[in-house]
Amino acid sequence: MECSKCITNNTVKSIKLDNNEICQFCHIQNGMEKEFPLNEESEKKLFIIADKIKKESEKLAFDCVVGVSGGRDSSYLLYYVKKILGLRPLAVHYDNGFDSDASVSNIFNVCKTLNVELETKVADWETFKKVTKSFFLAGVSDPDTPTDVGIFKTMYDVAYREKIQYVFNGHSFRTEGIEPLDWTYMDGKYIQSIHKKYGDGDLNNFDNFYITDLLKYKFLRRIKTILPLNYIEYSYDKVEEVLKKELGWVHYGGHHHESLLTKFVVSSYLPKKFNIDRRMTSLSAMVRSNKMTKLEAKKILHTKPETVDEDNLREYILGKLDISQEEFKKSFKEKNKNFRDFKTYYNIFKYFKYPIKVLYKLNFIPKLLYLRYFGSNY
């Protein structure tokens, strides 16, 4: 089974095709294109938003929070926010202990060149290690979820502390696409559930994001999320040229390879255990955006993901997480699982679907996040 428009296929277990054999992710992106059309007015909207932010935050030290990883998208986002929009961002980085040398260098060079203050939150290593290890032992398809949650929590903690009302996100639906929930899922209860069954110790020092945090940041403080890349033409080649020329940015080898943990997950662990290639989501998005043909995307997908030394990388990750070869082999052979096999907030989110819809209408949460959880209306 494969979508007639993009390259999404039945490795996505939740794929749904309409009468024209077009998948739900194509419908979601089509809806996003209608809401964020690329024309001469689209970027002007960003400058209007930026002017509003400047007025609202003129008495604060910073206008917004921008999360940085040293990757292409977050680096360009920081450049765009500071140099093009003229805002005063506070760069925030979550250090989970797996940053590549290239990503560390990129973060330093980008922030220094742009004269942007950087705040780094270093994860409590013993706790983070145990939580991430529990995800591998659980046999779920998103063992980097603890990192994603830590990043999310840290950005909003900093925004809350500094009384900043805006968090900027570097995701673009035209290049990154929509990750199926069956592949990657994120909420605090999910982490709690997996750690309780497969981990040890408590979560007191883990940067978890509970539903009470959602209420605190979104309802009480009303912190909004802005995705500037949805408003502009975004070309990987042109962006990297700017970053290298103006900021001394260096390429780190492959998509999401700025983190050694994520590099292992996407290039080795997921393809071998789950037959999941996360490149499918970004390649499909670029087919829908006419950035490449379906044939070109398939050709890329059929090439092996970039790795330097797969065996050494696996040994490094397992060793650092204190996962023995026996534990890894056992979990690797067991039944594949995802968030539906554990306790999560998902049913609560579904129950409050319409209040959450109001949140995205008010820019408190991205529309794409809403659609990812609740689907399109085709």
Q: How would DSSP label each residue in 91-143?
A: EEEEE-S-B-HHHHHHHHHHHHHHT--EEEEEP-HHHHHHHHHHHHHHTBS-T
Question: For the whole model, what pTM was predicted?
Answer: 0.93
Work out the pLDDT band at 165, boundaries 50, 70, 90: very high
3-state SS track over 47-71? HHHHHHHHHHCCCCCCCEEEECCCC
Please enumerate in sequence order all residues whose Cβ is within 8 A of that of 161, keeping only pairs 6 or more positions apart, or say none: none
Judged against a pLDDT cut of 90, whether residue 352 lies above it is answered with no
Which of 31-40, 76-85, 310-319 has maximum average pLDDT? Answer: 76-85
In whole angstroms, what is the distance from residue 288 CA to residue 210 CA?
Answer: 34
Each residue's pLDDT tens digit, 84-107: 999 999 999 999 999 999 999 999
Structural domains of the chain ordered from first start: 41-254+334-374 (3.40.50.620)
Tokens coding 347: 């049913």
- Please tell me the predicted confidence (pLDDT) of residue 20: 95
- Please tell me the predicted confidence (pLDDT) of residue 378: 37
Judged against a pLDDT cut of 90, whether residue 169 lies above it is answered with yes
Residue type, 24: Q
- Please tell me the predicted confidence (pLDDT) of residue 308: 60
Work out the pLDDT band at 80, boundaries 50, 70, 90: very high
Taking residues 241-256, report their average pLDDT: 88
Taking residues 330-341, report their average pLDDT: 93
